Chain A
Amino acid sequence: MSSKLTIENLHVRFDTGSETVHAVNGASFAIDPGEVVGVIGESGCGKSVTARSIVRLESPGDIVDGRIRYGDRELTTADDRTLRQLRGRELAMVFQDPSTTLNPVYPIGEQIAEALRIHRDPDRQPFFRELTRGLSSRLRSSSRRSDVLELMAAVGIPRPAARIDAYPHQFSGGMRQRAMLAVALARDPSVLIADEPTTALDTTTQAAILERLADLNADRGMGMLVISHDFGVVSTLCDRIVVMYDGVVVERGPTDELRSNPEHPYTKALLGCVPRRADSGSPLPTVAGTPPDTTAPPAGCAFVERCPFATDDCRETPPAVVDAGPDHTVRCDVSDAREASLEAMTTETPTGNGTGDMASQSQQMHPSSVAVDGGTGDPVSTGVAGDASNDDHEPIRPDEPVVELEGVAKSFRESDALVDRLLGTDDRMPAVRNVSLELRAGKTVGLVGESGCGKSTLASLVSGLEVPDEGTVRLRGRPVGGVGGRTSEQLADVGVVFQHPGGSLNPKRTVAESITEPLVEAGWSRSRRESRLEELCSLVGLPDGVGDRYPDQLSGGQRQRVAIARALALEPAVLVLDEPTAALDVSIQATVLNLLADLQAELGLAYLYVSHDLDAVRHVADRVAVMYCGRLVERGPAETTLTRPTHPYTQTLLDAVPGRNAELDERTLGAEPPSLADPPSGCAFHPRCPVATEECSQIDPDLEPTGNGCSRCLYAPEWRDESSAERPVDDDIA
């Protein structure tokens, strides 16, 4: 029944009316029965479009050339009936964002049952009977019900009987993705296509889903195509990896081979940028130049502009596909490039002035270009210090923290309705409970935890966007309130960079207006603003002339540089960085992280770096604070905390990092983070904790010193030694 799936020379285009977007420009690869293949590449490389084209959901794009074969069937020309037979039964698909992929008006059970009904006979879908299904929330047929329950259990939904009639909005993200998986598996597909299946999820949930996928693959012997931007995710699951760049497959080969011996310059660059490879503190390798745009593909190699080994020949003629070993092919015929080391690839990239030239050059080439990350490499840093020795600010004594949080707590009203206040049903949900933390000049505190743990609220308490209900926030030793209650010097002392660079810039204001907004508020004169603007632009590595542009004319990386420049405008002592790279591709992330490191070294800034990405945190942070359920569960030096944690929760987070291949406890994976409104008794983590005892459900531990950090665990640090026999410490992170 299973057949080979072959994609040959696939071309997909989108016609947007004003321009033609070349999304896929000749992708070719194959999936053998039962094989797991990963497609990796950065945003815009055409990997998702390729995946969707296989099940013929490429619309609104058009397949303009190439073939997709499944067994002896040609899919690019298949009619609706053939597609109906194939979809779900042979080729099933799981999409990226589980918050939008399930129909909100039908119960989960019905959506799984529908897939089962179609499984029986795809050609017979009685219109009116189908139309009336799911109108009531209960799934009626009892035999169907047991099938659905079985599937829900198979994908790891706990207590399926209690959840079968629930609606998608009553599920968490991870549960929805499991439900989506159940829908996809309902018809026992031969190939499962998973398009960024875990990107929208927390790392712990991601780890659980990945493990489930691996198990399902083993149990059912189905083939899988996994699309991801994350090398860790792909290497966890896949037998073979396909690397895409600008709509073309540039390299493909077995996972281990590709990981140990990447040949294509782009693959090397991609692997080199990942923070976990680099020593913390050292600058991350970066890829020079600009990501490809979506206009017509170049005549030669698509990567030529960014490749240090490019020859004139590369520019003009399409590179040949070269065999690099058994089942390993590379689309690059320059042997120097293929043989160069990872380090050579990334350290030999042009930096400094070279990039500046590259950036301005590329702007001349694309006058209205939308996606140019001009800034890479070292920011120009000379001549800034002149103004930076700010007279307004008192010098910070080295022994005194710049920011000090002492026992801060913040809760939010669950409902804002008048009637709730009258009835006294005005429940409050604690987001941050009794947190103490210090930020010191020139040092970075990494704040980690799953989404909803309160880390962003804590960041808002530092920046003054929220005022604590209890406890004190001190800035340079003085207690401060919210934004409204801070003096202008105090406001100037804290800069904030938000997660989504697009959202944090007013789309109707130019870059220059956005960057200088704090200066206007501080009452700077126009000429002083202009010179400061120039300094800031060169400080963060923004190309000349960018000031007159609007945010939607910039790439993601450039926007984040603008946001950083604005945060730095008044020479703050502290930067609050709320997931500053979460929305960026790895290669762009690397340049932004390097920029932040350089700025800190130069300006002596204190950073509060909020992130769910432990690799990035390990790379940038001096100290780490781990949050769970509104409280700190562990605090300590980054190096030791993230290698030998004293709290089981931190260990769980570490084990969940994709690519670590750590064994995860069933208890941890099945459970979701508890609700903040109603935290579990005793230690909040005990329901998920692999080493929890009876006592843990009764005693709420304090944050006690252990070694050179603090831990909120009854058994810290002994649990680690007791369980280390079966849980080897994964010190080898590379």
Chain B
Amino acid sequence: MLRPLLARLGSLSAVLVGVSMVTYGFVFLTPGDPAYTILREQRQSPPSESEVAAFRAEHGLDEPFLVQYSAWLTDALRGDLGMSYYQSEPVTSLVLAHLPNTLELALAATVVSLLLAVPTGVISAVHRDTWIDRTSQLVALLGVSMPNFWLGYLLILVVSLWLGLTPVGGAGTLAHLVLPAITLGTGMAAIVTRLVRASMLEVLEEAYVDTARSKGVRERLVVYKHALRNALIPVVTIVGLQFGFIINGAVVVEGVFQRPGLGTLLVDAVFARDYPIVQGVVLVTAVAFVLTNQLVDLAYVALDPRVDRGDRS
């Protein structure tokens, strides 16, 4: 038990160090001198030599990269992500303030998509090559191909503007959550549907499915007890990866529905070159993403007895 744990911790910390380096390092991609560029954009006029020097000193930009990075990392590990350049607020509290809305949206979207995708994928696979299968395949294809911001506007147009059923934008109530969750969940649902279908088709060809049938197990149990449990194993990984997809989507969808969240915070900060906020949000999402995938790996062990128990024979 100790060995896989150590191996996992080793690679996990390597990845997290890499992630934090990238997160901190992209400031240096800024063309020219970051301090100069930031100030120029802020003021809309070229800053003076001394203003640039003062800005650098204030934000520690005059130190060598490794010194800056280790200072930032040490603070980050203590939960201090620095101060915003423009809003006189600590990044940590900004992130914490915006986090609940995004989390709520991500969860709602995941639930929507799984509820839709798993049954559809199973039914599609069981009724392979029938009209049910073709229709759901087509819908899934449309689902993955739609830009989610566009779907958001269509939903706003139809549901909010024409039918008047939900508010156009904002956050807070369940009514505010419905359209963004559907918008965000559709793309994920489409991907998961296709995956569940493909995985089920593969599993339904397995010999143990015939074994179950030859035992006299009724077909519904053959499908849901014997096949689906196996088919879900690869699906779980993808659902973990989809968390990244959700974050991607949130960046855009929050804007469409004018929901305050990590996405809108990030986009605004990117345009304002408010790097501490950008770094903070990126670090939080990336770490959350990495940890989610670790959890998924653990779920994997629970679902698939063949993995990682070290008692292979």
Instruction: Flag whether A419 is at the interface (Cβ < 8 A).
Output: yes
Determine the distance from Cα of A170 to Cα of B233 in the docked complex, in whole angstroms: 19
* CB–CB B6/A93 < 8 A: no
How far, in Å, is A15 (CB) from chain B's closest CB?
12
Instruction: Flag whether A43 is at the interface (Cβ < 8 A).
Output: no
* CB–CB A95/B207 < 8 A: yes
Specify which chain A residues have a CB less than 8 angstroms from the CB of B211 in the assembled complex: 93, 95, 101-103, 180, 183
Instruction: Flag whether B212 is at the interface (Cβ < 8 A).
Output: yes
Segment at the interface with B among A82-90, A239-247, A433-441, A577-585: A82-90
A interface bracket (residues with beta carbon within 8 Å of B): 35 or more
Instruction: Flag whether B304 is at the interface (Cβ < 8 A).
Output: yes
Known: A105-B303, A418-B10. A95 touches B210 (CB 8 A): yes
**Which of B207, B213, B217 makes the CB contact (< 8 A) with A100?**
B207
Within 8 A of B (CB), among A571-606: none
Tell me the nearest residue of chain A to B307, going by C-beta: A169
Specify which chain A residues have a CB less than 8 angstroms from the CB of B214 in the assembled complex: 55, 57, 87-88, 92-93, 95, 184
Determine the distance from Cα of A83 to Cα of B10 in the docked complex, in whole angstroms: 54
Segment at the interface with A among B68-76, B92-100, B223-231: B223-231
Specify which chain A residues have a CB less than 8 angstroms from the CB of B43 in the assembled complex: none
Instruction: Flag whether B219 is at the interface (Cβ < 8 A).
Output: yes
Instruction: Flag whether A137 is at the interface (Cβ < 8 A).
Output: yes
* CB–CB A100/B313 < 8 A: no
Within 8 A of B (CB), among A47-98: 52, 55, 57, 80, 83-89, 92-93, 95, 97
Count of chain A to chain B residue pairs whose CB atoms are closer than 8 Å in the complex: 112
Determine the distance from Cα of A167 to Cα of B229 in the docked complex, in whole angstroms: 15
How far, in Å, is B205 (CB) from chain A's closest CB?
9
Specify which chain B residues have a CB less than 8 angstroms from the CB of A85 in the assembled complex: 216
Tell me the nearest residue of chain A to B313, going by C-beta: A170
Specify which chain A residues have a CB less than 8 angstroms from the CB of B217 in the assembled complex: 114, 118, 125
Instruction: Flag whether B305 is at the interface (Cβ < 8 A).
Output: yes
Known: A80-B218, A89-B216. A97 touches B313 (CB 8 A): no
Instruction: Flag whether A131 is at the interface (Cβ < 8 A).
Output: yes
Specify which chain B residues have a CB less than 8 angstroms from the CB of A417 in the assembled complex: 3, 7
Known: A419-B3, A419-B7. A57 touches B210 (CB 8 A): yes
Within 8 A of A (CB), among B196-215: 206-208, 210-215
Known: A57-B213, A170-B311. A105 touches B218 (CB 8 A): no
Determine the distance from Cα of A675 to Cα of B10 in the docked complex, in whole angstroms: 31
The contact string, 1 if C-beta is below 8 Å from chain B, for chain A 181-210, is 001101100000000000000000000000
* CB–CB B221/A169 < 8 A: no
How far, in Å, is A56 (CB) from chain B's closest CB?
9
Instruction: Flag whether B78 is at the interface (Cβ < 8 A).
Output: no
How far, in Å, is A506 (CB) from chain B's closest CB?
26
Tell me the nearest residue of chain A to B226, going by C-beta: A103
Determine the distance from Cα of A94 to Cα of B221 in the docked complex, in whole angstroms: 20
Determine the distance from Cα of A118 to Cα of B214 in the docked complex, in whole angstroms: 11
Instruction: Flag whether B59 is at the interface (Cβ < 8 A).
Output: no
Tell me the nearest residue of chain A to B220, going by C-beta: A127
Specify which chain B residues have a CB less than 8 angstroms from the CB of A425 in the assembled complex: 3
Determine the distance from Cα of A503 to Cα of B271 in the docked complex, in whole angstroms: 56
The contact string, 1 if C-beta is below 8 Å from chain A, for chain B 128-167, is 0000000000000000000000000000000000000000
How far, in Å, is A692 (CB) from chain B's closest CB?
24
The contact string, 1 if C-beta is below 8 Å from chain B, for chain A 417-430, is 11110010100000
Instruction: Flag whether B306 is at the interface (Cβ < 8 A).
Output: yes
* CB–CB A127/B215 < 8 A: no
Instruction: Flag whether A399 is at the interface (Cβ < 8 A).
Output: no
How far, in Å, is A58 (CB) from chain B's closest CB?
11
Specify which chain B residues have a CB less than 8 angstroms from the CB of A89 in the assembled complex: 216
* CB–CB B7/A418 < 8 A: yes
Specify which chain B residues have a CB less than 8 angstroms from the CB of A95 in the assembled complex: 207, 210-211, 214
The contact string, 1 if C-beta is below 8 Å from chain A, for chain B 242-258, is 00000000000000000
Known: A125-B217, A187-B216. A131 touches B225 (CB 8 A): yes
Determine the distance from Cα of A80 to Cα of B219 in the docked complex, in whole angstroms: 9
**Which of B210, B221, B304, B311 makes the CB contact (< 8 A) with A105?**
B304
Determine the distance from Cα of A101 to Cα of B213 in the docked complex, in whole angstroms: 11
Instruction: Flag whether A104 is at the interface (Cβ < 8 A).
Output: yes
Specify which chain B residues have a CB less than 8 angstroms from the CB of A52 in the assembled complex: 210
How far, in Å, is A182 (CB) from chain B's closest CB?
11
Specify which chain B residues have a CB less than 8 angstroms from the CB of A84 in the assembled complex: 216, 218
Specify which chain B residues have a CB less than 8 angstroms from the CB of A169 in the assembled complex: 305-306, 312-313
* CB–CB B10/A419 < 8 A: yes
Tell me the nearest residue of chain A to B5, going by C-beta: A419
Specify which chain A residues have a CB less than 8 angstroms from the CB of B218 in the assembled complex: 80, 84, 122, 125
Determine the distance from Cα of A122 to Cα of B219 in the docked complex, in whole angstroms: 12
Specify which chain B residues have a CB less than 8 angstroms from the CB of A101 in the assembled complex: 207-208, 210-211
Tell me the nearest residue of chain B to A92, going by C-beta: B214
Determine the distance from Cα of A22 to Cα of B253 in the docked complex, in whole angstroms: 55
Specify which chain B residues have a CB less than 8 angstroms from the CB of A125 in the assembled complex: 217-218, 221
Within 8 A of B (CB), among A161-179: 167, 169-172
**Which of A83, A100, A105 makes the CB contact (< 8 A) with B305?**
A105
* CB–CB B216/A170 < 8 A: no
Determine the distance from Cα of A93 to Cα of B213 in the docked complex, in whole angstroms: 10
Known: A131-B224, A418-B7. A137 touches B215 (CB 8 A): no
* CB–CB A114/B306 < 8 A: no
How far, in Å, is B208 (CB) from chain A's closest CB?
4
Tell me the nearest residue of chain B to A135, going by C-beta: B229
Specify which chain B residues have a CB less than 8 angstroms from the CB of A80 in the assembled complex: 218-219
Specify which chain A residues have a CB less than 8 angstroms from the CB of B215 in the assembled complex: 87-88, 92, 114-115, 118, 183, 186-187
Determine the distance from Cα of A92 to Cα of B216 in the docked complex, in whole angstroms: 9
Determine the distance from Cα of A496 to Cα of B306 in the docked complex, in whole angstroms: 34
Specify which chain B residues have a CB less than 8 angstroms from the CB of A118 in the assembled complex: 215-217
Specify which chain B residues have a CB less than 8 angstroms from the CB of A115 in the assembled complex: 215-216
Instruction: Flag whether A521 is at the interface (Cβ < 8 A).
Output: no
The contact string, 1 if C-beta is below 8 Å from chain A, for chain B 288-310, is 00000000000000011110000
* CB–CB B216/A130 < 8 A: no
Interface centre among B212, B214, B219, B311 (most CB of A within 10 A): B214
Tell me the nearest residue of chain A to B304, going by C-beta: A105
Determine the distance from Cα of A24 to Cα of B230 in the docked complex, in whole angstroms: 32
The contact string, 1 if C-beta is below 8 Å from chain B, for chain A 378-399, is 0000000000000000000000
Tell me the nearest residue of chain A to B208, going by C-beta: A103
Specify which chain B residues have a CB less than 8 angstroms from the CB of A137 in the assembled complex: 305
* CB–CB B7/A100 < 8 A: no
Specify which chain A residues have a CB less than 8 angstroms from the CB of B208 in the assembled complex: 100-104
Specify which chain B residues have a CB less than 8 angstroms from the CB of A107 in the assembled complex: 305
Tell me the nearest residue of chain B to A90, going by C-beta: B216
How far, in Å, is A421 (CB) from chain B's closest CB?
11
Interface centre among A83, A92, A103, A423 (most CB of B within 10 A): A103
- Please list 6 pairs of residues, one from A and one from B, whose beta carbons are closer than 8 Å in the complex, sorted by A's number: A55-B213, A84-B218, A125-B217, A131-B224, A169-B313, A186-B215
5 additional A-B residue pairs with CB within 8 Å, beyond A84-B218, A103-B211, A183-B215: A103-B229, A105-B304, A118-B217, A125-B217, A169-B312
Contacts from B to A (Cβ < 8 Å): 3, 6-7, 10, 206-208, 210-221, 224-226, 229-230, 233, 303-306, 311-313
Task: Give the 7 A-B residue pairs with the shortest CB-CB distance, closest first.
Answer: A88-B216, A87-B216, A100-B207, A93-B214, A419-B7, A103-B208, A167-B305
